[in-house]
Amino acid sequence: MGGGAYMPLAMAQRGKVETIKKINDKDEVKRFLESLGFVVGSEVMVVSELSGNMIVNIKDSRVAISKAMATRIFV
Amino acid sequence: MEKKEGKWKGDKDVIIMDLPGIYSLSPYTLEEVVARNYLIEERPDAILNIVDGSNLERNLYLTTQLTELGIPVVVAINMMDVVAKNGDMIQTERLAKELGCPVYSISALKGTGIQEAAQAVVAAAAKHATVPQHSFAPSVEEALSDILAKLPNNIPQELKRFYAIKCFERDEKIPIALRTAPGIEEIIANTEKELDDDSESIITNERYTYIGQIIQHCYQKKNKGGLTTSDKIDQIVTNRWLALPIFAIVMYIVYYISVTTIGTYVTDWTNDGLFGDGFYLFGNGRAAYEEANEAYTLETQKIDAFLAEATAEGIDISTAESDPIAFAAEAAQVTASVTITAEDESTQILPVTIQDYEIALQAEEPAVEDFGTWIPGIPVIVGNVLEKLQVADWLQGLILDGIIGGVGAVLGFVPQMLVLFIFLAFLEGCGYMARIAFIMDRIFRKFGLSGKSFIPMLIGTGCGVPGVMASRTIENDRDRKMTIMTTTFIPCGAKLPIIALIAGALFSGASWVAPSAYFVGIAAIIISGIILKKTKMFAGDPAPFVMELPAYHLPTIGSILRSMWERGSSFIKKAGTIILLSTIVIWFLSNFGFTENGFGMVDDLSNGLLANIGSAVAWIFAPLGWGEWQSAVAAVTGLVAKENVVGTFGVLFGFAEVAEDGMEYWATLSAFFTPAAAYSFLVFNLLCAPCSAAIGAIKREMNSAKWTWFAIGYQTLFAYLVSFCVYQIGSVISGDVGFGFGTILAILIICGGIYMMIRPEQKQKVLQAKVTA
């Protein structure tokens, strides 16, 4: 998969629904993100952002993620 | 992390095991490990899978994994009221068909549907296992059936698919013989190549694809997209400008109410009433009694003043009692005076003549019982009973001073803690607590802790025991261990009397002392966080912060009280075991010793074993400025409960009973300590090993003796070094001691500490070395 056209979730606009294209993370963390619903093809929306950390809406639930993770999820 | 066992009310033969809430069966969090091990190893007869209807899609992910375990599964959809309120619809019958297991809708909040679901589980247990209805993409299914064929025959039929999938995912927790069976790796690698993804993500994606299909059939959503109420609240509460101010206001309210108003009121009642002399029922009569008592105190002051004046004028007062008439004649001309201070600070001088003196002699001490329904405190009642039973003096001492005194002092904090716990339970229940972790994460991350570390520390300002226990919510092992180690640095409620003592006795109640204690605590956490994170033990990438935020909702009173009681009772249990035991030991050591009559009970604590031990170890604390045995003993008794430090000094200075802040012996103490030594003593007691109850909590949460000793050792060493620097440098500044060897050593320690904070992380160092080599 090429990553050129994707942007990290960290840069996504607040309130705009995006689709996850790719997740770059270590296995263990990726697995946990997946069980929370962060899989390729899922719709995701940024609800709030606080100095890089984000609250996002995914599969009808709210999940808080750190900036480090938000930069590894591409939409 | 625990599972809870219970019996079903409907049928006592049915044992219910409540497993922690999890997202999946892949062992990422501690909860998942516990739940997964139980399901695989204990193999229950049936599983009741309670799912949140308001985010069905995500919740069904776990359901698809559970149906593969070869155990009958019943799904109960909770929060159906929320679903209905949103105008959405879940077709449970259709869902049951798609999943291949019974589906019930319940509402835990209203208590509906639960009996039906429970009965269905019992019925399901008797039937055959749930057969997973889902199939993955053809290429994945092909790989799975290839793996299935290679699995050994001793695996039960219903578990074959589960193990095949786990093999495909390269799960490290399944038996090694299965994973490394010949040919399996090849099958996985081929499929991965074909689908251009790792095997685990393939399965995850397949599961979500399948769930997506089910949802389409069974779940009618009214509003797709758009912001929910919770989202709207989050946009304000976690807003980049408003988040911290809102947080500060909430914390201020919680703290103000639980510590200064209601908290203080109930704590005073337990300490002075229930575990003190006694109290008036509903407070009736207290004001009248206090007034009468004040009047009586004034009369006794008059007597003292008159006698003192008479002595000053050369009159022999030894006859005052034996021959009052002669004394009156002799002292007829004496006029003394007493100064009374009114509430508005204005003073009034009353002359005391022989007539006033004689009237004063007639005054009787008011009896508490005369002013209202007086209920004596526990020590009074027990004391009377023991007196009646003619129990030996030493046993009376053990029960009254040792056990009731010690345990009572600790239990005195329970009401205040319960008030704090009610607030915390509310913040947790309504969903704000999770947001606090989110808001604080950026700040805590800077010194190696997680946002979730804030909650233990906040609770720790009330009491370290529930504070340490609250660290359980932190998934990452390193973050959790570090939080446990540093939480008790924050001054807890029991350390406040020590602060009040030192501030009052040595610094004439200066207002900076108390805030400085909190500052020392916070600084200790930050410095320790940074230093520990750079040691090999804690090195490594910080755990990424991921946390589900629950929807905002009003918690029920029942759930708040339950949560309060859960935390409170674990503390009370500690008070009944560890604290009880250590109070008895300390009481024994203080009151028994070697005298000229051999070993036995001593009247004077300075002859007791504890005093001997204190004298033997006192030299250790000499470099900290308080090498006298009394201070050493006081610090040791602080290990039972921190506020004991104040009482111990009182006893050692010859005061039987002292106020909470030890006001009676402030003068003695200020001659005993230099200011620098006193502050060093304060810092040591704030930072060193916590009380026995908190140590017990640390042991339970660390679940390892080695880590418990490491934590306590680290805290005590840290406290020692900081106190050393405080005393050595403080003494030079105040001019008590000249610049010398101690000062140099203190400066070296500070430099060492700074080096530990700024040096590169241990792990990175290795990497850099590799690069340069």
Pick from B436, B261, B429: nearest CA to A64: B436
Flag if A31 and B204 touch (Cβ within 8 Å).
yes
Count of domains observed in chain B: 3
Do strands B592-595 and B598-601 pair parallel, antiparallel, or not at all (unpaired)? antiparallel
Q: Rounded to whole angstroms, how far apart are CA atoms B165 and B247?
A: 45
How far CA B636 is from CA of B484, B495, B506, B615, B746, in Å, comes to 22, 14, 21, 12, 24
Pair (B326, B265) in one structural domain: no
Task: State whether B49 and B131 are in the same domain.
Answer: yes
Nearest chain A CA: its distance from B674 CA (Å): 46
Distance between start and end Cα atoms, chain B? 44
Contact B637, B648 (CB under 8 A): yes
Measure B427 CA to nearest chain A CA, in Å. 17
Picking from B58, B542, B545, the nearest residue to A65 by CB comes out as B545
Give domain status of residue B21, yes or no.
yes
B175 bridge partner residues: none
- Is there a single domain that holds both residue B91 and residue B169? yes
In a domain, residue B603? The reply is: no
Chosen domain end from B350, B371, B392? B371
Burial of B150 (0-12, 13-18, 19+ CB in 10 A): middle
**What's the pLDDT score for residue B25?**
84
**Is the same domain home to B318 and B424?**
no
Name the β-bridge partners of B7: B15
Residue A71 contacts B where some CB pair is shorter than 8 Å: no
The beta-carbon neighbor of B57 closest among A60, A66, A68 is: A60
Residue numbers in B near A34 (CB within 8 A):
24, 200-201, 204
Most A-contacting residue of B546, B552, B553 (CB-CB within 10 A), to test interface: B546
Question: Which residue among B428, B451, B477 closes a domain?
Answer: B477
Nearest chain B CA: its distance from A8 CA (Å): 16
CB spacing of A63 vs B549 below 8 angstroms: yes
**Dist CA B22 CA B24 (whole Å):** 6
How big is the A-B interface in CB pairs under 8 Å? 126
**Which chain B residues contact residue A19 at CB under 8 A?**
none
User: A13 touching B, CB under 8 A?
Assistant: no
Q: Classify residue B59 by burial, with Cβ atoms within 10 Å: 0-12, 13-18, 19+.
A: buried
B19 contacts: CB under 8 Å, gap ≥ 6: B3, B34, B35, B38, B39
Q: Provide the token pair at A7.
A: 């942007």
Q: Are residues B306 and B366 in the same domain?
A: yes
Q: In angstroms, rounded to a whole number, what is the distance separating the alpha carbons of residues A36 and A41?
A: 14
Written in H, E and C, the secondary structure of B386-416 is HHHHCCCHHHHHHHHHHHHHHHHHHHCCHHH
Q: Give chain A positions within 8 Å (CB) of B431.
A: none
Residue B21 CA to residue B3 CA, distance in Å, equals 10
Residue B213 DSSP SS3: helix
Residue B764 lies in a domain: no
Chain B contact for A45 (CB, 8 A cutoff)? yes
Q: Are B395 and B382 in contact (CB under 8 A)?
A: no
Query: Which residue in A1, A37, A64 is closest to B549 by CB distance?
Result: A64
Residue B334 lies in a domain: yes
Q: Is residue B659 part of a domain?
A: no
Three-state secondary structure readout of B654-716: CCCCCCCCCHHHHHHHHHHCCHHHHHHHHHHHHHCCCCHHHHHHHHHHHCCHHHHHHHHHHHH
* Closest chain A residue to B232, measured at CA: A47
B169 within a domain of the structure (yes/no): yes
Q: Do A47 and B439 touch (CB under 8 A)?
A: no
Burial of B584 (0-12, 13-18, 19+ CB in 10 A): middle
- Asked if residue B47 and residue B185 are part of one domain, the reply reads yes
Instruction: Look at A15 and B227 and tell me if their CB atoms are within 8 Å.
Output: yes
The secondary structure element, H or E, covering residue B642 is none
Whether residue B513 is contained in a domain is answered as no
For residues B550 and B231, the answer to whether their CB atoms sit within 8 Å is no
Q: Do B56 and A60 touch (CB under 8 A)?
A: yes
Kind of pairing between the strands at B47-52 and B73-78: parallel
Residue B620 CA to residue B624 CA, distance in Å, equals: 8
Residue B383, both tokens: 């004391």
| Burial zone of B350 (CB within 10 Å; 0-12 exposed, 13-18 middle, 19+ buried) | middle
3-class secondary-structure state, position B120: helix
Which of B208, B210, B213, B454 should we substitute to test contact with A (largest number of A Cβ atoms within 10 Å)?
B208
Of B23, B61, B243, the CB nearest to A50: B243
A52 close contact with B: CB closer than 8 A: yes
Cα separation, B254 vs B620, in Å, equals 41
A29 touches chain B (CB under 8 A): yes
Q: Is the same domain home to B300 and B221?
A: no
* CB-CB contact of B431 with B552 (8 Å): yes
How far apart are the C-alpha atoms of B648 and B586, rounded to whole Å?
11
Rounded to 5°, angle at Cα B235 from B232 and B240: 170
Bridge partner residues of B375 (DSSP): B279
Amino acid B630 reads Q
Q: How far is CA B336 from CA B305, B333, B356, B359, B643, in A?
A: 6, 10, 10, 14, 40
A41 part of contact set with chain B, CB < 8 Å = yes
The β-bridge partners of B77 are B51, B105
Tokens of B301: 């002051």
Q: Which residue has the higher pLDDT, B373 or A71?
A: A71
The helix (H) or strand (E) run that includes residue B734 is helix B705-734
Pairwise CA distance, residues B658 & B639, whole Å = 19
Reply yes or no on whether the pLDDT at A7 is more than 60: yes
Q: Are residues B144 and B116 in the same domain?
A: yes
Residue of B nearest to A64 (CA): B547
Distance CA B576, CA B161 (A): 50
Considering only CB atoms, which chain B residues are within 8 Å of A48?
A: 234-235, 238-239
Q: How far is B158 from chain A (nearest CA, A)?
A: 24
User: In the prediction, which pLDDT does B772 show?
Assistant: 35
Give the model confidence (pLDDT) of B574-616 as tens digits. 667 777 787 788 788 888 888 777 787 777 777 888 888 888 9
Question: pLDDT tens for residues B319-351?
Answer: 777 787 888 888 788 888 887 777 677 778 888
- On whether both B149 and B217 belong to a single domain, the answer is yes
Could you write out the DSSP letters of every residue in B136-170? --HHHHHHHHHHHHHS-TTS-GGGHHHHHHHHHTT
Specify whether the CB–CB gap between B244 and B439 falls below 8 A: yes
Structural contact between residues B763 and B537, judged by C-beta atoms closer than 8 angstroms: no
Q: What is the dihedral of CA B434, B438, B444, B449, to 10 degrees?
A: 60
Helix boundaries (H) for B401-488? 405-411, 414-430, 432-445, 454-460, 464-469, 477-487
Quick: pLDDT tens for A32-69.
888 888 888 888 999 988 888 899 998 888 899 888 88
> Are the C-beta atoms of B234 and A55 separated by less than 8 Å?
yes
Those residues of chain B that have pLDDT short of 50 are 1, 764-773
Residues of chain B in contact with residue A52, where contact means CB-CB under 8 angstroms, are: 442
Looking at residue B295, its amino acid is A
Residue bearing tokens 């606009």 = A13
Per-residue DSSP letter, B228: -
- Look at residue B121 and tell me if it is in a domain: yes
The CATH number of the domain holding residue B33 is 3.40.50.300
Task: Write the DSSP assignment of B365-389 as a string of letters.
Answer: PPPGGGGS-EEE-HHHHHHHHHHHH
Structure-token match 């994707």, residue found: A6
Q: Looking at residue B763, what is its pLDDT?
A: 55
User: Closest Cα to residue B454, out of B466, B441, B463, B469?
Assistant: B441
Does the beta carbon of A47 lie under 8 angstroms from any beta carbon of chain B? yes
> Å from A38 to nearest chain B CA?
10
Tell me the shortest Cα–Cα distance from A5 to chain B, in angstroms: 19
Of B198, B435, B546, the CB nearest to A36: B546
Q: Which of B438, B474, B479 to mutate to test the interface with A (most CBs of A within 10 A)?
A: B438
Structure tokens at B118: 């429970």
Q: Regarding beta strands A61-65 and B546-549, do their DSSP bridges make them parallel or antiparallel, or are they unpaired?
A: antiparallel
- Of B454, B417, B453, B457, which is closest to residue B563 (Cα–Cα)? B417
- CB pair distance less than 8 Å for B208 and A27: no
Supply B340's token pair: 């009374």
Phi and psi torsions of B28, nearest 5°: -105, -50
B304 shares a domain with B214:
no
**Domain's final residue, options B477, B505, B525:** B477
Q: Which residue stretches of B488-624 are H helix?
A: 496-506, 513-533, 557-574, 580-591, 609-621
**Is residue A64 within 8 angstroms of chain B, CB to CB?**
yes
Q: Domain range holding B459?
A: 228-275+412-477
Residue B291 sits in the same domain as residue B416: no
DSSP string, B506-543: HSTT-TTHHHHHHHHHHHHHHHHHHHHHTSGGG-SPPP
Structure tokens at B509: 């109640």
Residue B114's H or E segment, with its range, is helix B114-126
Residue B419 to residues B37, B264, B341, B686, B697, Cα–Cα distance (Å) = 37, 10, 36, 24, 20
- Count Cα neighbours of B675 within 13 Å in the Cβ-side half-sphere: 16
**Placement of tokens 């010398």 in the chain:** B740
Q: Are residues B222 and B290 in the same domain?
A: no
Residue of B nearest to A23 (CA): B201
Q: Phi, psi at residue B405, to the nearest 5°? A: -60, -50
H or E stretch at B339: strand B336-341
- Nearest CA-CA distance, residue A40 and chain B, Å: 7
- Compare all CA atoms of chain A with the CA of B234 and give the residue at the minimum distance: A48
Angle at which helices B580-591 and B609-621 cross, to 10°: 100
